[in-house]
Chain A
Amino acid sequence: MRTAAKGLGVAGVLAFTLFPVYLMVVTALNAEANAGSRTLWPDEWTWENFAFVVTEGGFGRYLANSLGVALATVLAGALLALLAAVAVARFRFRFRTSVLVMVLIIQMVPVEALVIPLFIQARTLQMLDTLAGLVVVYLAFSLPFAIWTLRGFVAAVPVELEEAAYLDGASWGRMFRSVLLPLVAPGLVATSVFSFIVAWNEFIFALTFMSDEENYTVAVGLRRFFGQHATDWGAVMAASTLITIPVVVFFVIAQKRLTDGLVAGAVKG
């Protein structure tokens, strides 16, 4: 009885969580998706939709744009967040609590409030329609969460390890590189995954800032397949699959490595 209930629960959760991904992939492979076929099991399978999206749809370009923007955001974000996290986790200074509360509160600022002034600002600075403009914005968005998360990882490293490094004659910089950095690496992986996803998935700024099709990111590029009267659902779902699958794979792998890293750290530490 209990096992049956558990089994039912597992089946329900699996069905609910995987339904959208399943429907997306199946429709992308459905040869008749354009002809209005909506079904959970297509009669005819095809790769046509993917071929169309990448060649005529110009989606390769958007994928490259998104990848560039996301990687730049991740690299800059990891560096800035780590430095800030060390500051709030390792030092007791005036206004430390104020800084922490500000970082927490700033996360609640809605993008709708920021998109208006930043659009006007970017227009004045002629940063509209540039990928660099997007990187800067995404960096700001991903920082609060990254700092807040990394702070926990830095705080979890025993101060004694740092003291030992100092006793061995290490400078603060040397200690940072040889002791702190390797130990917070799993945390860096976690925040990097998050920053990557923020940048890769972001929609409203990419929609507002980018007018030249050359500069579209994937989230905005998708809209090209929505026609005035009819939508090419096969193409939409093929493109959606191309956007989703890398993120999902990346996310699952990183999450696993993250948990493994945490466990390993706990055992050794």
Chain B
Amino acid sequence: MTLAERTETGRGAAPPAARQRPRRRGAVTRPWLLLAPALLVMGGLLLYPLLRVLVLSLQDFGLRELVSGRTNWVGLDNYVELLTSPELWTTVLPNTVVFAAVAVALTVVFGTLVALLLARLSPVVRGVVTTAIMVAWAMPAVTGTYVWVFAFTPGDGVVVQALDALGLVDAATANPFAGRLSFYGVAALNVVHHGFPFVALTVLAGLLTIPRELTEAAIVDGASAWRRFWSVTFPMLRPVFAVVTVLSTIWDFKVFTQIYLMPGGDGVNRNVLTLGTWSYVESFAQNRFGLGAAIAVLLTALLLVVTVVYLRLLFREDEL
């Protein structure tokens, strides 16, 4: 080992934090010891299964394979079947992507509006509204979905009746869960209700860090509220908006419970399948785990692309 190489390794092993107290031993191994339990759990239950699902997607894996433990390799057959299926291109993929895009946009815009409102309220009122928002946040997806289903039940659900009273629908014939658009309308309502509190409270926390002087200076300069938002607030809170958008996108892309528990969402109504529910239904209702795995791989790949694009776009390495 040359001297240059040695200094290089030395620098890698004794970075800034450790350099302040170079004589303290274990500075190299300690972080890994601390990380080991968490990495083991995440590696064994998140990373390894991810590899397994990739392997499974190359097999014909049904009940027989599940019982006998045999493997039946079929190469890319599952992917060929998946990618040549008209259902994927006309139903499942549009459902998944459009729904996620609309839900994210609604969640972030509504959450930001609520945060801007909260920032202008007196502390007492703000406390009350914040508590109500947290109630919406804490409501489990399962029970929340059941309540929205109950409210939109054809015929006598309270929302259907209210819309009937307004003359918008005919309660006797309207079935919000039958049509693709209305089905996803209800789902979007549910998802936005569940997702906007995180956006609102995170953006609010950011708003409160903006120095008053900046806003006041903009007001003195005669900037409108719209202009102030885009010229002062948004640039200052760029990282905050980045985080809430990334996380909302990831959450809304893989939303499962809220769709699966709606009438017809569990595969009965094939018009409203998403990649997530399709994968689950193929696997656990049809016992075609190989094809289900291929769908899951496609969903994961899509999410990976979204995540990487966002990360590259919004984070610099020194922010980590």
Binding site for B on A (CB under 8 A): 6, 9-10, 13-14, 16-21, 23-24, 27, 36, 38-40, 79-81, 83-84, 86-88, 90-94, 96-97, 99-101, 103-121, 123-124, 136-137, 139-140, 143-144, 147, 159, 163, 166, 172, 197, 200-201, 203-204, 208, 219, 222, 233, 236-237, 240, 243-244, 247-248, 250-252, 255
Interface residues of B in 281-320 (CB under 8 A from A): 283-284, 289, 292-293, 296-297, 299-300, 303-304, 306-307, 311, 317, 320
User: Looking at the complex, which one of B17, B131, B157 makes contact with A90 (CB distance below 8 Å)?
Assistant: B17
B97 touches A (CB below 8 Å): no
Q: Is the interface of B mostly helix, strand, loop or mixed?
A: helix
Q: Can you name 6 A-B pairs with beta carbons within 8 Å?
A: A14-B132, A84-B35, A88-B35, A113-B293, A140-B44, A244-B143
- Return chain B residues, CB-CB under 8 Å to A113: 49-50, 53, 279, 293, 296-297, 299-300
Binding site for A on B (CB under 8 A): 12-13, 15-18, 20-21, 24, 26-28, 30-32, 34-35, 37-39, 41-42, 44-50, 52-53, 56, 66, 69, 114, 117, 120-121, 125, 128-129, 131-144, 146-148, 150-151, 153, 156-158, 161, 193, 197, 250, 253-254, 256-257, 260-261, 275-277, 279-280, 283-284, 289, 292-293, 296-297, 299-300, 303-304, 306-307, 311, 317, 320
Given contacts A87-B32, A91-B27, contact A108 B303 (CB under 8 A): yes
How far apart are A14's CB and chain B's nearest CB, in angstroms? 5
A93 near B134: Cβ-Cβ < 8 Å: no
- Return chain A residues, CB-CB under 8 Å to B12: 94
B304 near A108: Cβ-Cβ < 8 Å: yes
- Return chain B residues, CB-CB under 8 Å to A166: 21
- Return chain B residues, CB-CB under 8 Å to A104: 307, 311
How distant is the Cα of A136 from the Cα of B320 in the complex, in angstroms?
28
B17 near A92: Cβ-Cβ < 8 Å: yes
A106 near B31: Cβ-Cβ < 8 Å: no
- Return chain A residues, CB-CB under 8 Å to B45: 114, 118, 136-137, 139-140
- Return chain B residues, CB-CB under 8 Å to A38: 150, 153, 156-158, 161
How distant is the Cα of A147 from the Cα of B279 in the complex, in angstroms?
29
- Return chain A residues, CB-CB under 8 Å to B13: 93-94
B38 near A80: Cβ-Cβ < 8 Å: yes
How distant is the Cα of A166 from the Cα of B35 in the complex, in angstroms?
22
- Return chain A residues, CB-CB under 8 Å to B42: 103, 106, 140, 143-144
Which residue of chain B has its CB nearest to the CB of A93? Answer: B31
How far apart are A240's CB and chain B's nearest CB, in angstroms? 4
How far apart are A199's CB and chain B's nearest CB, in angstroms? 11
Given contacts A103-B42, A233-B150, contact A123 B66 (CB under 8 A): yes
A244 near B289: Cβ-Cβ < 8 Å: no
A-B contact count (CB 8 A): 262
Which residue of chain B has its CB nearest to the CB of A233? Answer: B150
How distant is the Cα of A7 from the Cα of B17 in the complex, in angstroms?
51
- Return chain B residues, CB-CB under 8 Å to A204: 256-257, 260, 280
How distant is the Cα of A255 from the Cα of B18 in the complex, in angstroms?
35
- Return chain A residues, CB-CB under 8 Å to B311: 101, 104
Closest 7 A-B residue pairs measured CB to CB?
A92-B15, A140-B45, A117-B52, A110-B254, A87-B34, A251-B138, A240-B143
How distant is the Cα of A135 from the Cα of B303 in the complex, in angstroms?
26
- Return chain B residues, CB-CB under 8 Å to A100: 320
List 15 additional contacts besides A113-B296, A113-B297; criterion CB under 8 Å. Answer: A17-B133, A17-B197, A24-B147, A87-B32, A88-B35, A90-B17, A93-B32, A94-B13, A97-B320, A112-B280, A113-B50, A116-B56, A172-B24, A172-B30, A233-B150
How distant is the Cα of A167 from the Cα of B250 in the complex, in angstroms?
45
A117 near B56: Cβ-Cβ < 8 Å: yes
How distant is the Cα of A111 from the Cα of B215 in the complex, in angstroms?
43
- Return chain B residues, CB-CB under 8 Å to A114: 45-46, 49-50, 53
How distant is the Cα of A57 from the Cα of B231 in the complex, in angstroms?
57
A88 near B140: Cβ-Cβ < 8 Å: no
B143 near A24: Cβ-Cβ < 8 Å: yes
Given contacts A10-B117, A38-B156, A244-B140, contact A88 B31 (CB under 8 A): yes
- Return chain A residues, CB-CB under 8 Å to B257: 203-204
- Return chain B residues, CB-CB under 8 Å to A19: 151
B307 near A108: Cβ-Cβ < 8 Å: yes
